[in-house]
Amino acid sequence: MDSVGVLLWLAAVVTVLSRSHGDRNVYPSAGVLFVHVLEREYFKGEFPPYPKPGDASNDPITFNTNLMGYPDRPGWLRYIQRTPYSDGVLYGSPTAEHVGKPTVIEITAYNRRTLETARHNLVINIMSTEEFPLPYQAEFFIKNMNVEEMLASEVLGDFLGAVKNVWQPERLNAINITSALDRGGRVPLPINDLKEGVYVMVGADVQFSSCLREVETPQNQLRCSQEMEPIISCDKKFRAQFHIDWCKISLVDITKVVPVHRDRPDPGPGVLPDIGEYNPPSESLKSRDYFADFLITLAVPSAVALVLFIILGYSMCCRREGVEKRNMQTPDIQLVHHSSIQKSTKELRSMSKNREISWPLSTLPVFHPVSGEVVPPIHPDSYETTSMPLMQTQTNLQNQMQIPQQQPPGKWYS
């Protein structure tokens, strides 16, 4: 950046760049970009063991900013800190509504390593300016910048110097800076060092130059509709450092903007009429007795339940016929038939309890291989069948019976 650019930045741009050195007052102007840097180097000395200036400590430090007495910042003030190892930045464009009203911002620094905190107050005194608002405002979309990069004084000074060369105004101010993410943009892919983009609005006191109006030509409008870059003669003055999307440039002449005053529409049937402010009832109202309502709420369901209980009890208890009445109304032949069926059923059940279990075929009586006599089973009924062998061995048969021996002829024994 040359000396001319530095002079333009210091003389023409009324952007306030301040440093955080304790509780302090700043005096930004309404309608001019305000930037306040929260330096990590300063807050490092606020945390024990209080390192000396120049020490190589690099603790992660984050900041929390809020309006005193409220959980968030004013609507015009934004804050950004990309990582805990980078400085925080407060930026925004105050409006004329806040002129003369001191805004106290509480700044709390957190040391993420030691969990220590430090707090300072920043008093923003918004001043009025005769140059506000500048009548001609242009908003540029810079594709190769992030918002914290654009907020740096050197980068913003270079951009305003390039705009002044193609516009040639007498007064040029940076009005506002907005990240593309706040306008609905997407987070870029982490390849090729892509940036999220930033919108920069500047204001001047002279008409737009012919270079800035080239985007409004039919040829460039057609190229923009086809997603092609328009041909802008002064783009080379920005291209070295800033890649501007000329299809997204916005030129506004606020002197020709007709304010629209819309009449308040008639309220429909679903809108309550405006009856003024709400007047709460006085304290002299009499208290209401809810005892009667309480009794009605309990008495009616209880009475209905009692009636239903009586009807159900009468139907189940008092309307029973009984066995004797049923038998008197039943023909005798049907009773005799039913009684005989019951007796037969009982007899069959008693017989089934006394029947024996059939033995396996292997335990049935066998024939003796010599005499041909029938050999009874070796186990009586009282033995357990599970402990008995299924087949009778020859040894068992010999132990169970005695084979009659042949007697010699002619001899008789008693």
For the segment 287-330, what is each residue's pLDDT rounded down to a tens digit?
788 888 888 999 999 999 999 999 998 888 877 767 777 778 78
- The whole-number pLDDT of residue 382 equals 46
Question: Do 195 and 188 contact (CB within 8 A), yes or no?
Answer: yes
pLDDT at 356: 57
At 281, the pLDDT band (50, 70, 90 cuts) reads confident
CA distance 17 to 2: 20
- CATH 2.120.10 corresponds to the domain 134-257: no
Nearest C-alpha neighbor of 171 from the set 1, 14, 3, 2:
14
Q: Mean pLDDT over residues 176-187, rounded?
A: 88
374 band by pLDDT with thresholds 50, 70 and 90: low
Specify the pLDDT at position 67: 92
When pLDDT is averaged across residues 396-410 and rounded to a whole number, the result is 50
pLDDT above 70 (res 389): no
**DSSP, residue by residue, 21-34:** -SSEEE--BTTS-E
**Residues 187-229: pLDDT tens digits?**
887 777 788 999 999 999 889 989 899 989 999 999 999 989 9
Do 210 and 160 form a contact (C-beta atoms < 8 A)? no
The answer on pLDDT for 407 being more than 70 is no
Q: Which CATH superfamily is domain 15-129 in?
A: Immunoglobulins (2.60.40.10)
Q: Which residue has the higher pLDDT, 382 or 206?
A: 206
Tell me the average pLDDT of the chain: 78
Residue bearing the bigger pLDDT, 202 or 97: 202
Same fold, 15-129 and 134-257: no
The answer to whether residues 103 and 123 touch, using CB atoms and an 8 Å cutoff, is yes
In the structure encoding, which two tokens stand for residue 99, read together? 């002129």
Domain residue limits, the chain: 15-129, 134-257
The overall pTM is greater than 0.75? no
pLDDT greater at residue 133 or residue 57? 133
